[in-house]
Amino acid sequence: MSSVSLLRQLILEEAYLREGGLKLSPEKRDMLAQLTPAVVNTAVEIYTALIDQWNLYLESVGEKPVRAMRPVGSVSYYQQDMLQGSDASYGDIDYLVAFPSEFEGKEFDRRRDDRRVTSKYENLFVRFLNERRPDTVDIDETLRGSTPLMVMLRLPNGQLVQVDTVVTFPRYSGWMEGRYTPEHGIKGYTIGNLYKALGDYLVMSISTEGVIVRSKMGQRVPSRFSRSKGVETENISTSIQTFLRDIAKYIIGSEEINEDPLLRNNPGVDPQNVTIAGLASGIKGLALTLGNHGVYSSDEMLRTILSNYESGLRKNVESKRSRFIDDESYQKLLKLNALVLQKVTNEFGA
């Protein structure tokens, strides 16, 4: 392998390690395509055609179809980047796919049923690959590792691209479209840590399924106690557009609340215009609203969330440094952390 090819391989491996994990065997890694907007466009066309083929197979064996929704994560804006002639290069491709579910029981049982459906459809996907042998898939590499839903596709030029299937379900698929979309041009972990900092303060989970509250004897408890005796699980919002307002109503215990203008104008996140500043402004509106009702000290709430956000950003970058990235990349991430932290600080008025 030439020195140029080796360097390119190392860059690609670094990108996959940063984002979500590369399952391709080492001897094939020089076949990986660089994920430019044009390459992502081709890969998405191949992937959605593959899902269409899988749905025909599912119909033939009497199973309900899945629904390919959209790319999320770092490639959310690939079409915009392509139209603008951007030289963007992405770490990986995440594609949101809704699996069928009609379960209407309690939250704890519903989550267990989601796991059952996911396992079932993973097995159906393996059967589809083995029986239909689609030529756009490197089947051996796709079946490597922990899940076949990390799909290794073959591009027309023979190069390979990994597309990670992000499983969701109809009840919260709309939530996931926004929750897994970062601000354009800014790495997703930056806004992800802001959701987490808010959730940690309120003792709620603001993740893949909406806003989840676990409580025991009327007191919210961390997610690590979800399987403990007497702990009840409740989903209080699956609307990414209004989840901050929904949190306020839940904590205050009323549908009629004295809503701060900041919360009124930023009740959640607009999936078509995701910004860290917008989320931070909504969080401040939530804090002021809760302060108006005497639930929390808004100043203390914002200070703690900001501190937790800074800590989360730092831990994320240190984790990446310990795995692969060089000092130049590390310094770039530190600058990014400082940039987004200042955005949140400005919105909080700290």
Q: Where are the domains of the chain?
A: 3-172, 182-348
Provide CB contacts within 8 A for 27, sequence distance 6+.
none
Indicate yes or no: pTM above 0.85. Answer: yes
Chain centroid to CA 140: 27
Structure tokens at 323: 């795995």
- 154 strand-pairing partners: 160
Structure tokens at 13: 């491996």
* E strand segments, 99-257: 150-154, 160-168, 205-207, 210-216, 219-220, 232-237
61, with CB counted inside 10 A (0-12, 13-18, 19+), is exposed
Rg of the Cα trace of the chain? 22
164-168: which pairs have CB atoms within 8 A and are 24 or more residues apart?
A: 164/20, 164/92, 164/93, 164/94, 164/95, 165/95, 165/97, 166/72, 166/73, 166/94, 166/95, 166/96, 166/97, 167/97, 167/99, 167/118, 167/121, 168/69, 168/96, 168/97, 168/98, 168/99, 168/208
At 145, phi and psi to the nearest 5?
80, -160
293, with CB counted inside 10 A (0-12, 13-18, 19+), is middle
| pLDDT-derived band at 184, boundaries 50, 70, 90 | very high
> Quick one: DSSP state of residue 304?
H
pLDDT single digits (tens) 296-350: 999 999 999 999 999 999 999 998 887 777 888 899 999 999 999 999 999 999 6
**pLDDT of 25:** 76
CA dist 331 and 321 (Å) reads 10
**pLDDT of 24:** 78
Q: How far apart are the first and last CA of the chain?
A: 53
Structure tokens at 307: 């501190």
CA dist 93 and 188 (Å) reads 13
Mapping DSSP to helix (H, G, I), strand (E, B) and coil, where does residue 243 land?
Answer: helix
More confident residue, 87 or 283: 283
Q: Would the pLDDT of 271 be above 60? A: yes
Q: Would the pLDDT of 20 be above 50? A: no
| pLDDT-derived band at 21, boundaries 50, 70, 90 | low
pLDDT single digits (tens) 74-113: 899 999 999 999 989 888 899 999 999 988 778 778 888 9
Largest CA distance in the chain: 67
pLDDT single digits (tens) 225-266: 777 888 888 999 999 999 999 999 999 999 999 999 999 999
Provide CB contacts within 8 A for 99, sequence distance 6+.
66, 117, 118, 121, 167, 168, 169
